[in-house]
Structure 1
């Protein structure tokens, strides 16, 4: 008989067989399964509904604009909307990650909580719950950060659904990733008797399968967690005694064995089975005495079982794996009978080693003793592989050598520029320090002649923006960026997936405005049923307010608007006079994206209902140009209202009352998770009896062009109202709105007599933002207005400008404090 040499296929099968022998370890089985990396194809991602044609629900897709956003707004308690991922095969999933949509600083949609459903066959769905029965998973608190959650217990599934959960009506957007590894067992379900209860010295010990996921499902025997030697203790903190094991009492089984049935995904060739058993014989618990396994490939069980008797061990009470050889039997289902050796039998894990069965009735080389295999092709293949490896190694060496030379040249160039850079920093710092000392009498000693190196704490670290990089004093910071990232990784283990950059707003050809709040707050489909078409011929042009991102903004009179709405608008009804409204129009030559954004704003504003938020009244969308009609109070915006009247007309209580109304409106927006991003007195409108409503018209008016700072000719930002993290990191949150509210309150109490930081140029305002970032006591605060009590300035206004965003008050707290100060 001639010996058949091993071909690469034989080698591959040997390597595969050795790899599947490894038991699943949840601590190691944490690899990303391909949402971010692209291994999961677009056709494998589906949803109950989505705003756009593509779900785009992947991590780290550049500017953070792509995400899955349901087509309708999530309602409290509703679980109709879901994002589904098909992994194409069974996987052991130990970890999930979620991220919101920030659109490079222009969006703020995320799921605060969600649930997960999964399926192994696509038809039977199971809701995941933790080891205590909880089903809701805490998600994101902002649109930037990636939140990773361990699934305890892990799940075995092919299909996974993410289902947002909300407490109030709101919009969510999600990007997701799954972590785990392929489930090589192929085990789809097992069917075992219910576990029993033991009474041990008056202590109730429960051996039930508490995480079993269905009538025919999987549970603790496949969760990758092995029980301890002492079954009264558990790997899982604060769980009941016996939690890690599923166990049975001999007295309940007259035949003396426990029967288990295991179903697999397809016909497999089984080599062995591993069973983790407890062996604490001092308490009446021992390994099984005998295992008899039957096999089924079709509809009937085969008559001849495989029988195995493990060696009895009465010397050690250590729990262990017992390997049952299965003799390379072929089957799609296995029925095993485990015979008792003592009063109790406890299992914590069962795993199978197998390979896919291959059926071939033709004669193979192994069957034909006269067949001689030609291995010349194998030799050629091996030679090609060796050559390819050598070429790759050469390329890697060349790349590494070039990188070394590049770093050496960079270091040399830095040394040449050190003297010049130090001189520039000294001059710039001294100029700013002298200006600082002239602005604030409370300032301490004059700042040093050079800026110190910056080493931000790991917890607060974010990559700085392109805007901060152009400031000379941050050159030293960028040199240590890689080192700081490494330090943060060591501090916290998991990488930071969502490092923000300064927002880069794309504007149309004739637009020079900063895109704000409502347009990018959230997405949802379906125009509100209350939004009716208003006749265009009943709109009379009065004044052009300005030009916005979408087109022009006009002040108009709407004839018959109150009768058209047939509801109270909290305005004084006068049937003889038309209603004053603001009309936003979309340019007729606007592109498709601008048109979609315009319609998004309509859908968003149609759902906002608050006494202190400007309301969308009607639309004109039957023909071009598209129009939205909103409230416009007769007293105009708050900035001009405060400037135009005698200061004696405004008492402190009236001013605080105005601020409280703004805080109330922002509190409403914060409940809906909406970030305004341009809160200021110019964006607040005034009605009769000092009624204040938050709007977004200010940036479209030429009057306030000086309030916005242009960045590299593309985007404009209200930097004097923005928090340090918004300017330097492009990060807009409710906390950054709180910062802007503090500036708005300062405007109100100064009666808008001057612009915030009016003594500083735009560049110096940005420099001052850097001082907030460094937090070395050199930052300049807006001074206390003379109408503002010290308590309000110290306890409220300064708290809005705290460096740590988490330490700033919420709008609910601000509103309560303002109401209290009015008393």
Structure 2
């Protein structure tokens, strides 16, 4: 019993120290978040840094090989003169970068061309002389490319690439003509590590299995030693606690680790050398080790590091560090080795054996003056405890005195007993509070159900059908059943089961408008069918509205005009289908596709058939008055009846949305199949990517001619426009559920319109937390009551607006709570619920005045939803700050 209590206490101590350790130790680069476009599309990479082996003509030179970019001079892509194996398009990034994603596209040249690369290879170099052919974790070098000239195809680099120079090499028959447009995604490689050398990993036999502990993705010279390369120790992926298993599907046991046995090293240590791009002032080294001593593996007993600059001899003064011994926990962990600010271009470290085997999965360095990676800690599987232990702190001292150890144990036992007593008392009080809250919510839910039944009309989820189960959507309120209700801490640990239990409860009343934005934006979008991931994100016609009375307050259902769901649509008119010219496919879902089209005569059609406020949405569109670019969402002809009804209901609801800051529906084609809805097209894409390519203009009072900068007043104007659009939605009692910069579109002159397509893009998959494949939630933008209670209201949208404004004022350079993993974000929402002063708020952006942060942002994140400002108040306050 004492051992169990001790282990529980150890876990609590680790969780208590987690936030401190996150802020004290620089974050590792995370491939899931390090996915920023590096400048081919946005133009940050100049033409001089783009070259090629050859070109078909001057109009297909290398400088035209930019994804989704057309300056009107060239033919829209790079095309080699003759298709041969050695042809390549090369990009110079000017410094080492950590590349996690690449995008490719073909050439259509406004209908004059149809060339694309069906397959290609990538070579990379860190110094411009030694080139390495990239291969995936299974050893394949060929990457599947494009299937047509229009779509953008994104491919994850697994493993990631650390390089300065990148070459795209088409693979095709010599008789074919291929053309390419490309983009690179990642972030700057701040470690500065250009290579590491070590003995080749060895093989273990355990339980009749061959455990291969080699560095399978090492890109240097392989032999008895690994020389002049990088590999698994720098790929940003940690090994699991049990080295026999891996997060990578279908690989061999031991894949994540590089390991050595002491039988092969008579001196009792493994020696590794690390080479860097320049002289650096090193403060620490982080080494991720396995500690599964039950299988003969333990973290190193001691490390001794030597330093040198340039070609000089190794300095005699070494740094020696002994991590605290741990014979209790078999959890893999990072060990932080202090390097004392030593200056060097090379480091040689000797890791002494503490058991039969030493296994390492990641090594990272921090040097003075180097910025911390703009990423979060790498996510771990749900249920796995963190790998950081108190003993990993280099200043943690181990007392060798038996007397002091005995006294310490006695004190620990006393504290444990006191903690158990406090926990028991606290749980009893907490349970009573939660039971009262549960009964109140159940009463409100019952009142809401009775109110619905007495109405003259009711709403049903359009995707339900007889004899089948529809894709689940999240309820307006998740009712909590008294016998199964748990406090938030247990709710967090059992979030997947909670989502499963609530999925089948109640009567669905949602009418999703997720198509509002799936038909907009300038980048390629891998769109998913609305509701296929479990949650409609844009708005629902049946929402929770807080009614405040003089004596009490309660939640009730606000009925929406039945005309939104039935009756003839009097606003939308049929647009001639033959006047739509296909330009590019933007994305696709389960039941339809989204295309970029030219619409002939659309502006005149809108002016004639729709209210005056709609015509403004076409002002500034590309093309002439007779031809404008629009986004067209189509429903496949083989879609079932429920999908068809959903599509028509989306049209009816969207036709009523008339606001300058909401993406507008312009026309429809519903007299024949395939059904189409036509929306406006925003040429500058989403706000997140738009701002991430800009820097803050310090001369805020005057506009700048530099298109790569944006002023503070422009940022506030963007926030004001978003508040205006949300003010309009709130007046209609619509709840957005996924307000973020990725779901705001940018037109000309910084015009902002609210939409919802972030979840459908691979680029933003790191912003969503998936619950066992059933639902995806943007937890970093969600209020505590939305995460823990499933309650989505106007007040939860206000919370998300505060996070969105924080993104804007940071120019989208980092993800909210970037220092937290997804599980830690959920734990932090539990602290908001408990309200004991332990919750962590997003910090004030550098350009944000103290008054705006304290009065507006923190106001949006108040625990009590009633105390948060309304969108009308937010709009007024932002308007005053602009004056």
The TM-score with structure 2 as length reference comes to 0.42
Larger of the two Rg values belongs to structure = 1
The TM-score with structure 1 as length reference comes to 0.45
